[in-house]
């Protein structure tokens, strides 16, 4: 699972995740990519699950790049705790994904194999996605 080595602050505020991506919005490393079509928080478990699904399908052939990283700690209060008495403890880390962010890239496999691997990975993610190709490929 992906987690940051250290963070400046243990807990962060929720914030808002609106708008479209201005960076990481094109296929940079591989030939094909999986692009987000909505704004959502993607947990490190979901990222790892999608990566495993892609790797298993292409039978460890080709190369996969993960373009998102879960920097944001998400807190949760225990069950049956009354309102108030401060913020809960960090439970997991999440990546804030915006519309247009290329989350995964793949190279070294055929387009059909890449398309199917990305489809399997998309089922593990909470965002709507689309399959994209590298510009000029």
The residues, ordered by sequence, that sit 6+ positions from 113 with a Cβ below 8 Å of its Cβ are 57, 58, 62
Percent of the chain past pLDDT 70, that is, above it, reads 99
CA angle 62, 97, 136 (to 5 degrees): 45
Rounded to an integer, what distance in angstroms lies between the CA atom of residue 73 and that of residue 131? Answer: 29
CB 122 within 8 A of CB 129: yes
Tally the residues of the chain: 137
| Three-state SS at 32 | strand
What are 49-66's pLDDT values in tens digits? 999 999 999 998 899 999
pLDDT at 137 (0 to 100) = 57
| Residue 15 tokens, joined | 């914030």
Rounded to an integer, what distance in angstroms lies between the CA atom of residue 2 and that of residue 122? Answer: 18
- For the chain, first and last CA: distance in Å? 32
| Three-state SS at 24 | coil
What are 58-112's pLDDT values in tens digits? 998 899 999 999 999 999 999 999 999 999 999 999 999 999 999 999 999 999 9
What average pLDDT score do residues 39-44 get?
A: 96
Q: Domain extents for the chain?
A: 40-76+87-133
Q: How confident is the model at residue 1 (pLDDT cuts 50, 70, 90)?
A: confident
DSSP-H helix ranges across the chain: 44-57, 111-122
pLDDT at 135 (0 to 100) = 83
Enter the pTM of the model.
0.92
Query: What CATH code would you report for 40-76+87-133?
Result: 3.90.1170.10
């Amino acid at each position: 699972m992906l987690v940051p080595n250290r963070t400046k602050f243990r807990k962060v505020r929720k914030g808002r995740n609106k708008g479209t991506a201005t960076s990481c919005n094109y296929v940079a490393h591989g030939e094909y990519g999986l692009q987000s079509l909505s704004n959502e928080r993607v947990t490190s478990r979901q990222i790892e699950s999608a990566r495993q699904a892609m790797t298993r399908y292409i039978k460890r052939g080709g190369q996969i790049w993960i373009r998102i990283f879960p920097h944001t700690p998400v807190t949760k209060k225990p069950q049956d705790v009354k309102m108030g008495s401060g913020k809960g403890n960090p439970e997991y880390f999440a990546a804030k994904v915006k519309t247009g962010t290329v989350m995964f890239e793949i190279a070294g496999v055929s387009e059909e194999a890449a398309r199917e691997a990305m489809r399997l990975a998309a089922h593990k993610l909470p965002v709507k996605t689309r399959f994209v190709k590298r510009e000029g490929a």
